[in-house]
Amino acid sequence: MKTYINGIGCVSAQKTDGDFASGFHVNQATNVLPIEKPEYKDYFSPIAARRMSKAVKNGIVASTMAMKEANLEMPGAIITGTGMGCIEDSDKFLKAIIDNNEEFLTPTSFIQSTHNTVAAQIALGLECKAYNFTYVNAAVSFESALIDGKLQLDEGEADAVLIGGIDEMTDYTASLFKLAGFIKKDEEGSFPILESQTPGTVFGEGATFFVLESKKSATTYAEVVDIEINNEIEADILQLKVFDFLSANGLGVDDIDLLVVGINGDAQFEEHYRELTQKQFVHTPQAYYKHLSGEYNTASAFGLYLAANVVKTQNVPPIVQVNGQTKPEYKNVLLYNHYRGIDHSFTLISKA
């Protein structure tokens, strides 16, 4: 079966509710990018919103946007990926344990802190009793959900699948990540991603959902051809891995019209990206996206949002270009991502 992206919803550090890339901007003044909050009142009541974490609210908004665009009322499966889950409610519950001496605890934050809360809330809102699954697999959580969604269509288990990647950031988590060196130091000042010479990266948060269907429609963005995930790949064999992945799909390096990479500005872990951008795909148009979305476990979902829009609009915005090269047509797009040298993923999409 074919797998087509027929609807997308995205809540991120960028305005994505207008024309593609029209609201994109680069914020180099902070090392944790704030989210562009949608009009939550358009999706649920203020009373309901008060009981929801950022991940739940953003997940519901993004999934609703994707389903609306695809003209889908009820998905045959809901599959999400998240690295940190609803960390905001986890923080609240753990803080309450300490503040209340482990006594008189309300269970609300604990109940809502589980990683599958977003998928469950979406299903409850839709009254959807179909297959519902959440993958918690670090930086390949979203790709795991994408593989599962494609399998659901391939096996005929569903005709339409709602998949998404969601992660949130809290002040407390950000402070821990800064302490661990995952986030660039505050005193560094400006925080450019491309050509960065310092360790750490710029973090963010977001929710990006896709409606996958086995048939094309008027809203089709692109076809999802193949996905592959690897926990570890040595830099010196990365090019061979990419060659094998493309060969399995009847393609070569010259057939790739755009390479989308997850460059995040962490100078300690850029070797793998350089293996592709400066060697194997040096003459291929290249794009990056984490200067727009920030880094988080499911940031690659924002990368797929970018790639799918490039295929649909046949336009690579200058704000995401790495090497300035262009092609008259963008038919095959390869996405490559990893985080801190592990959890490598390849995603191949093509013009439908």
Which of the listed residues 194, 213, 232 is the one where a domain comes to its end? 213
Residue carrying structure tokens 């660039």:
184
Whether residues 131 and 21 share a domain: the answer is yes
Q: Would you mind telling me the total number of residues written for the chain in this entry?
A: 352
With CA atoms as reference, report the closest residue to 235 among 138, 106, 344, 351: 344
Give the mean pLDDT of 324-345.
96
Distance CA 323, CA 321 (A): 6
Whether residues 45 and 143 share a domain: the answer is yes
Residue carrying structure tokens 């005709």:
159
* 241-250 pLDDT, tens digit each: 999 999 999 9
Helix (H) or strand (E) holding 345: strand 342-350
Which pLDDT belongs to residue 93? 85
Is 218 inside a domain boundary?
A: no
Which of the listed residues 184, 213, 242 is the one where a domain comes to its end? 213
* 144-162 pLDDT, tens digit each: 999 999 999 999 999 999 9
Whether residues 204 and 243 share a domain: the answer is no
Which pLDDT belongs to residue 266? 97
Whether residues 60 and 98 share a domain: the answer is yes
Whether residues 36 and 110 share a domain: the answer is yes
Helix, strand and coil in the chain, % to nearest 5: 40, 20, 40
Is 149 inside a domain boundary?
A: yes
Question: Could you tell me the CA-to-CA distances from 315 to 85, 165, 285, 321 in Å, in that order?
Answer: 33, 24, 12, 11
Structure tokens at 304: 């797929």
Backbone Cα Rg of the chain: 20
Whether residues 268 and 201 share a domain: the answer is no
Q: In what order do the strands lie in the sheet with 286-288?
A: 131-135, 77-81, 160-167, 206-213, 4-11, 222-230, 342-350, 332-339, 258-261, 286-288
Whether residues 135 and 12 share a domain: the answer is yes
Domains in the chain, number: 2
Whether residues 190 and 242 share a domain: the answer is no
Under 8 Å between Cβ of 169 and 204: yes
Structure tokens at 311: 């295929």
* 177-230 pLDDT, tens digit each: 999 999 999 998 899 999 899 999 999 999 999 999 999 999 999 999 999 999
Q: Is the pLDDT of residue 272 over 90?
A: yes
Helix (H) or strand (E) holding 227: strand 222-230
Q: Which residue segment(s) compose the domain that 81 sits in? A: 4-213
Which of the listed residues 190, 213, 236 is the one where a domain comes to its end? 213
Give the mean pLDDT of 302-330.
97
CATH for 14: 3.40.47.10
Which pLDDT belongs to residue 111? 80
pTM to 2 decimal places: 0.96
Is 242 inside a domain boundary?
A: yes
Q: Is the pLDDT of residue 28 over 90?
A: yes
Whether residues 42 and 138 share a domain: the answer is yes
Which pLDDT belongs to residue 105? 83
Whether residues 73 and 131 share a domain: the answer is yes
Residue carrying structure tokens 């990683």:
115
CA 169 to mean position of chain CA atoms:
14
Whether residues 62 and 111 share a domain: the answer is yes
Whether residues 277 and 186 share a domain: the answer is no
With a pLDDT cut of 90, the percent of the chain lying above it is: 87
Which pLDDT belongs to residue 3? 98
Is 74 inside a domain boundary?
A: yes
* 61-116 pLDDT, tens digit each: 999 999 999 999 999 999 999 999 998 888 888 888 998 888 888 887 788 888 99
Give the mean pLDDT of 334-345.
97
Is 12 inside a domain boundary?
A: yes
